[in-house]
Structure 1
């Protein structure tokens, strides 16, 4: 019997990316609620999600 194939993402990376997406969505929604344009909110959400990945990677480990 052969060993099971490797997973595409480890559990650690999946949790980090999921948390980053949630952070990005929250920041984007809060930015829209301030009255900023949707494009600015999208940029704020994407940049906060990307910026949170290194911090989450060290915190969740």
Structure 2
């Protein structure tokens, strides 16, 4: 049985470029929403929940609009 060794031309990226951009934008939106929530005087738990919800909504939004 022959072992398959990874040569430089066989390396595949873990994420595609589009997926990386969509997730990066989602993280940035979620982080911004969480920070703004905490700066508005809410608790840290509320900031985490707001950031998580904003992340999910942003990923769905950017997945839809980025071709």
Structure scoring higher RCO (CA < 8 A, sep ≥ 6) equals 1
CA shift digits 1:6-59 (9 cap, x unpaired): 221000000000000000000001001110000000010011101111110111
| 1:37 paired residue number | 43
Aligned CA-pair RMSD: 1.6
In the aligned structure 2, how far is the partner of 1:2 from the partner of 1:26? Answer: 38
1:8 paired to 2:14: yes
Report how many residues are paired.
Answer: 61
Structure 2 portions without partners, runs of 5+: 1-6
Moved over 6 A (4+): none
| 2:66 paired residue number | 60
